[in-house]
């Protein structure tokens, strides 16, 4: 199978690279990006997203009837990877998770309301699945949604909602049938400033803010439901497959490997070039090989997505392997840098301004976002290999 970009796709890649060069800004681009850090959490980043929208680069693969251009999904991939390489914010949840799910399952009213705003880069979403007692097992969520006239009243809490403090809308799952696990969940779209919603910050090991969100008698109308009542788990599973791919571009990991190779090429230890150490050379070769395997696994996801398939197993394989590769790169970097590698960003003498010290901590977060690594292994085992769920 030929995975090389066609000439038109290569031209688009060059166009995006030129745009990013012209719009380079420390207010928008993270010099040391991590997988989940490229969010639209400031006015400057929202303005940048508006520039992408003006060029028609948001939702390029959406159907024309919903404002898209019906271009091949490979163009979305090219854009996302270029943004990742430059540490720029990602279109992410709105275009890939919320938008595509609304196109498949949303009401006409929801499509008219949200899809144009997404394509204009005007709106940001938070995703609410995990709870204090339902982390990796999202199907065990207990956030209660009870009928109240034509609408619903929600009570409970969500955990690890990373975008809650800057998002406009909450894409949240709630239990509408207490007697059924998977068939008792419904998806809602709720404004983040809704009365009864409160947010409390949680800071991760990677210096990234996530949040707890509390619901206290949050009353919403019936048209807040996404799709059909009690069908939310099906939509969530589809969205998680999209999330694992959309949230995990490989461009940032490529830049890390490049930075580590450049450091090894230039550094000396006890007066000898680090690049001449056979153990270091072996380890670099292993990391470059793992990076290439990650690329191939990513292309399997792209191949399935371009065929309008839901790449469940492929997404899990890619996310699991690529996250572990990121950890291996950060671990190797700190080993090769010695004690100085433990200096944090901004501290005097920190190699590469502490890039890999932060990465070492942040890659732990990567293994959780979008579904923990253990969940990915279960998906691969049961859906990919056909193993029984209890073995």
In the chain, ranges of CATH 1.20.140.10 domains: 250-384
Three-state DSSP at 195 gives coil
Q: In this model, does residue 390 exceed pLDDT 80?
A: no
What is the mean predicted confidence (pLDDT) over 303-326? 87
| Beta bridge mates, 145 | 154
pLDDT on residue 240: 67
Instruction: Give the list of residues 6+ apart from residue 246 with CB closer than 8 angstroms, or none.
Output: 80, 90, 91, 92, 93, 95, 96, 97
User: In the structure, what pLDDT confidence band is assigned to residue 241 with cuts at 50, 70 and 90?
Assistant: low
pLDDT on residue 315: 87
Q: Mind listing the pLDDT tens digit for each residue in 10-68?
A: 999 999 999 999 999 999 998 878 766 678 889 999 999 999 999 999 999 899 999 99
| Domain covering 7-90 in this structure, CATH number | 1.10.540.10
Helix axes 73-85, 7-22, angle to 10 degrees: 40
User: In the structure, what pLDDT confidence band is assigned to residue 306 with cuts at 50, 70 and 90?
Assistant: confident
Instruction: Give the list of residues 6+ apart from residue 179 with CB closer than 8 angstroms, or none.
Output: none
Domain 126-238 = CATH 1.10.10.2160: no
pLDDT on residue 246: 54
User: In the structure, what pLDDT confidence band is assigned to residue 242 with cuts at 50, 70 and 90?
Assistant: low
Residue with the larger pLDDT of the pair 274 and 315? 274
In the chain, ranges of CATH 1.10.540.10 domains: 7-90
Which pTM was predicted?
0.89
| Beta bridge mates, 188 | 172, 225
Domain at 250-384, CATH class? mainly alpha
Of 126, 127, 145, 143, nearest in space to 214 by CA: 143
Instruction: Give the list of residues 6+ apart from residue 314 with CB closer than 8 angstroms, or none.
Output: 297, 300, 301, 304
User: In the structure, what pLDDT confidence band is assigned to residue 245 with cuts at 50, 70 and 90?
Assistant: low
Q: Mind listing the pLDDT tens digit for each residue in 195-224?
A: 999 999 999 998 889 999 999 999 999 999
In the chain, ranges of CATH 2.40.110.10 domains: 126-238
Torsion angle (degrees, nearest 10) of CA 312, 67, 48, 257: 30
User: In the structure, what pLDDT confidence band is assigned to residue 301 with cuts at 50, 70 and 90?
Assistant: confident
Instruction: Give the list of residues 6+ apart from residue 355 with CB closer than 8 angstroms, or none.
Output: 32, 256, 259, 345
Q: Mind listing the pLDDT tens digit for each residue in 153-162?
A: 999 999 999 8
Torsion angle (degrees, nearest 10) of CA 227, 233, 236, 240: -160
Lowest-pLDDT choice from 24-33, 135-144, 177-186: 135-144
Q: CA-CA distance, 90 to 113, in Å (whole number)?
A: 22
């Amino acid at each position: 199978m030929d995975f090389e970009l066609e000439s038109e796709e290569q031209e688009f890649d060059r166009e995006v690279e030129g745009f990013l060069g012209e719009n380079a800004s420390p207010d928008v681009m993270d010099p040391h990006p991590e997988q989940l850090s490229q969010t639209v959490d400031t006015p400057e980043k929202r303005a940048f997203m508006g520039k992408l929208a003006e060029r028609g680069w948001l939702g390029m693969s959406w159907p024309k009837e919903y404002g898209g251009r019906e271009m091949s999904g490979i163009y979305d991939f090219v854009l996302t990877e270029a943004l990742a390489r430059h540490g720029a914010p990602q279109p992410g949840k709105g275009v890939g998770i919320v938008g595509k799910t609304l196109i498949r399952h949303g009401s006409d009213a929801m499509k008219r309301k949200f899809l144009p705003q997404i394509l204009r880069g005007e709106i940001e979403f938070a995703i609410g699945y995990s709870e204090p007692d339902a982390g990796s097992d999202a199907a065990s969520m207990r956030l209660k949604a009870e009928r109240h006239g034509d609408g619903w009243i929600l009570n409970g809490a969500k955990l690890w909602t990373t975008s809650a403090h800057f998002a406009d809308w909450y894409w949240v799952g709630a239990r509408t049938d207490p007697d059924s696990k998977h068939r008792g969940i419904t998806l809602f779209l709720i404004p983040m400033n809704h009365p009864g919603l409160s947010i409390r910050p949680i800071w991760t090991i990677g210096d990234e803010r996530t949040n707890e969100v509390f619901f206290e008698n949050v009353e919403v109308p019936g048209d807040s439901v996404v799709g059909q009542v009690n069908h939310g788990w099906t939509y969530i599973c589809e969205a998680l497959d999209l999330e694992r791919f959309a949230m995990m571009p490989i461009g940032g990991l490529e830049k890390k490997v490049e930075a580590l190779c450049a450091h090894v090429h230039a550094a000396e230890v006890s007066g000898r070039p680090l690049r001449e150490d056979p153990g270091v050379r072996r380890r670099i070769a292993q990391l470059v090989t793992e990076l290439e395997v990650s690329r191939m696994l990513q292309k399997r996801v792209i191949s399935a997505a371009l065929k309008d398939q839901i790449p469940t197993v492929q997404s899990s394989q890619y996310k699991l392997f690529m996250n572990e590769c990121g950890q291996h790169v950060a671990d190797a970097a700190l080993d090769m840098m010695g004690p100085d590698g433990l200096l944090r960003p901004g501290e005097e003498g920190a190699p590469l301004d502490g890039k890999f010290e932060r990465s070492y901590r942040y890659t732990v977060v990567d293994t959780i976002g979008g579904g923990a690594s253990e969940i990915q292994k279960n998906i691969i085992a049961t859906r990919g290999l056909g193993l029984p769920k209890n073995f």
